[in-house]
Amino acid sequence: MKGRQRVAPIFLPHAGCPFRCVYCNQFLGTGGMGRLETDPVQYAAERLQEQAGWAQRAGETREIAFFGGTFTALPHDTIVRLLEMASYWVCRGVFAGIRFSTRPDAISEEVCDLLANFPVRTVELGVQSLSDPVLQQSRRGYGASVAAGAAQRVCRYGWKLGIQLMPGLPGDTHGRFLSSLEEAVDLKPDFLRLYPTLVLEGTALADWYLDGRYVPLTLEEAISWCAEAYEVLRLAGVALARAGLHGDVQRGGSRPVLAGPFHPAFGYLVRVRWWRNRVDTFLSLSSPNTRGKRLTLVVPAHRISEALGPGQSNPIHWRARWALREIRLRGVEKLGEHELEVRLE
């Protein structure tokens, strides 16, 4: 897996967005900062000062990251002013570089030529799907070819590429999601984020859900789909930067998530399922008869809680499915990130 770069985030909810996507309400996770739509530069200047102070006190160099909204669809002068402010801190060595997220249809050759004048290192594309029917039903305003072209353009300019996918959008199926994932991997991103679609209050998708026109994934479906994706990404050497929406969306005691596969530890549950699937695959291929045998698993020490699962759910599953007599699970420091040793006796 390619390594991750830690970030210092500055959220600009909906800033630069040409319209509100059917599933999107970015104010929920950012404290309702609607003033950013009219004054992103002043807000960003304040946050940059804060982030620079934190970075200097922590003694670590992160990328300054403009998240939320559509960064490259902001007015030209605003983009330049934001990049100039961020570049000041990069030149002083406080930050390693600049990253931002944007829509695939807002990263033209002209925009890239502008960005090339600044220390941009990473571009995240909110691709969401590479299925034309899904993009159309979700009213994204572009097709899969546009998204693929944007990704290729980012790579051609030498920036690190991040891709965001949203399993469970309107019109999505298990097959369409896996096809989108494979096409995304073919674009050779450095990392990928998976955000299973949630029904957030104040969105068109919420209206569709309440009218019965949209049915979100269950938590079980989302975990299963993303665990499959995790294995695809592992084999391709693409890092999974995040799975699941940040838990802050549920802060403050409100109920902004009306429906869908939200869990505050969703990424952990995905990795738990991945370990379960991996051992299941080994046992299905290794022996026609596992009844009464002892299974010994050796995993990286820092992954042992994922291999066990909450309440030791994985050993319970393996024992019941494979009629095992005993399961031993041991963590070892020297093992690599995804190494697994299995003995069946």
User: What digits encode the pLDDT tens for the residues 315-343?
Assistant: 999 999 999 999 999 999 999 989 999 99
274 falls within a domain: no
Instruction: Kindly state whether residues 22 and 143 are assigned to the same domain.
Output: yes
Cα-Cα end-to-end distance for the chain: 32
Asked whether residue 277 is domain-assigned, the answer is no
Number of other CB atoms surrounding residue 206 within 10 Å? 21
Print the domain residue range for 126: 7-264
Looking at the chain, the whole-number percentage of residues with pLDDT higher than 70 is 92
Number of domains in the chain: 2
Average pLDDT of every residue of the chain: 91
Same domain, 208 and 71: yes
Structure tokens at 19: 């319209």
Question: Does residue 204 contact residue 187 with C-beta atoms inside 8 Å?
Answer: no
H or E segment and range at residue 181: helix 174-186
Segment 68-75 shows an average pLDDT of 91
Same domain, 303 and 248: no
If pLDDT is split at 50, 70 and 90, which confidence band does 253 have?
very low
- pLDDT bin (cut points 50, 70, 90) of residue 33 is very low
Q: Are residues 292 and 248 in the same domain?
A: no
pTM tops 0.75, yes or no: yes
